[in-house]
Structure formats: C-alpha cells, structure tokens
Amino acid sequence: MPKALGPADFAGDAAEVAVTLIGATLLVDGVGGMIVETEAYDREDAASHSHSGPTPRNQAMFGPPGRAYVYRSYGIHWCLNFVCRASGHGAGVLIRAIEPLKGIAEMRDRRGLEDVKLLCAGPGRVGQALGIVHAMNGMRLDRQPFRVLAAEGPRDVVVGPRIGISKAAEVPWRFGLAGSKFLSRRFPSHSAIIRA
C-alpha cells in the first residue's frame, strides 16, 4: 500500500513537487486515478496567479502547503492545484491530467462522456470528473474528501513548456508521464525526459 502524502511532502519548490506528483494517485471521495500531467507555478513567475501577491481568489496559495487551491477558469471550470513550499510563498502545482482508475462510472456520468482517455485530459476536465467544487478551496489534501498516495518506483517524466499561458511561456514547468495516453496534449517532440 503506497504512502499517503502529507504537508511535509509539499514543502519543496513547485517544480520539484510537480515532478514528485507524476505517478501519484489522487482520489476525491474515492474517485480518481494516477496523476500523469502537472504544471508548476511560483510567486516569482509572471504566469502565476500568485505573482502579484495575495488576493481573495489566490489566498489559499499563500496558506500552508499540502492544501488545495481551487480556482474558476474562464468562468466555467473548476481547476485544482496543490499548494507547496511554505506559508506565504504563493507556490502551487496544477493537476492537468489523470489516468482514470477508480470510479470510472461516476466520472463518465459527471462528464457525460464514454471515452476514458478524455475523462481527465485537461485541468477543467479533471475538475468536472472528480467533482471539484469551490468549497474544497483551502482544504487539506491528507483529509477527506482527498487522498493523495505517493508514486511507487521510478518514472520517466517528460518536461516541456506550460500550456495556455502567454507570460513566461518558455519556462519548462510542464511535466508528464512519458508514454501516457491520458495527457491533455502531446509534448513537443524532442522534449527532455528525466528519471524521477
């Protein structure tokens, strides 16, 4: 049985934690699967919500690590981040894609879609499939309804530029499980691969 991640496991830099999370398992009320794609964001990063300091929306990013930061994207989707570093730092990891493993019937129901490859292939889709709601903002990731279980064994992790941003677009802070069929998009060919 893999180890459940707690606050201490989120104390590292956003990029470091983002790599650690590739291959980890995320369940929300028992529904979810293996995290296959993440992006890192940090205060010193023009693309981050936390870049210009605390606001009512992003305050969870400035709170303790190991908690959820949930934000509304394009007025429609709820997207889930894991807060990292330490209180006040404004760092987090966006969960961009999951390989569905548990509660697939419920995820299909919520998404109104059969194709398992598309259930959680993108941050908005993850939010819808896992039933993420704004009330989960700031909640601990080591308590109900969340469960985060550490990845087991070494993984090959693809590294590339983040998606859908204009500022700091070259920063290579998007990470994916090499060869996964559940990514939100392919990584550019020739992307670097690291062993984690």
Partner DNA sequence: AAAGCGATGTGCT
Partner DNA sequence: GCACATCGCTTTA
108 binds DNA (CB under 7 A): no
Report the SS3 class of residue 14: helix
Which range binds DNA by CB under 7 A, 25-33, 123-131, 141-149, 175-183?
123-131
Nearer to DNA, 124 or 156 (CB): 124
- Residue from 11, 47, 86, 101 binding DNA (CB under 7 A): 47
Residue 73 lies near DNA (rule: CB under 7 A): yes
Task: In angstroms, give the least distance from the CB of 118 to DNA.
Answer: 6
| 112 burial level (CB within 10 Å; 0-12, 13-18, 19+) | exposed
The answer to whether the beta carbons of residues 110 and 129 sit under 8 Å apart is: yes
Cβ within 8 Å of residue 164, ≥6 positions away: none
Residue 38 lies near DNA (rule: CB under 7 A): no
| Measured distance CA(62)–CA(110) in Å, rounded | 31
* Gap between the Cα atoms of 74 and 95, Å rounded: 17
Structure tokens at 177: 């499980």
Residue closer to DNA, measured from CB, 49 or 67:
49
- Residue 133 near DNA by CB under 7 A: no
Q: Kindly state whether residue 56 participates in binding DNA, applying the rule CB under 7 A.
A: yes
Contact 86, 66 (CB under 8 A): no
Rounded to 5°, the CA angle 186-191-193 comes to 105
Among 17-25, 28-36, 75-83, 141-149, which window interacts with DNA (CB under 7 A)? 75-83
- The answer to the question of residue 65 lying near DNA (CB under 7 A) is no
Q: What is the identity of the amino acid at 10? A: F
Candidate list 6, 12, 64, 124; residue touching DNA; CB under 7 A: 124
CB of 123 to DNA, least distance (A): 5
* Preceding amide of 56 cis, omega within 30: no
Does 188 sit near DNA (CB under 7 A)? no
Q: Does 49 bind DNA (CB under 7 A)?
A: yes
Which residues are at the interface with DNA (CB under 7 A)? 39, 41, 47-50, 52, 55-57, 61, 69, 71-77, 79, 81, 92, 94, 111, 113, 118, 121-126, 162-167, 184
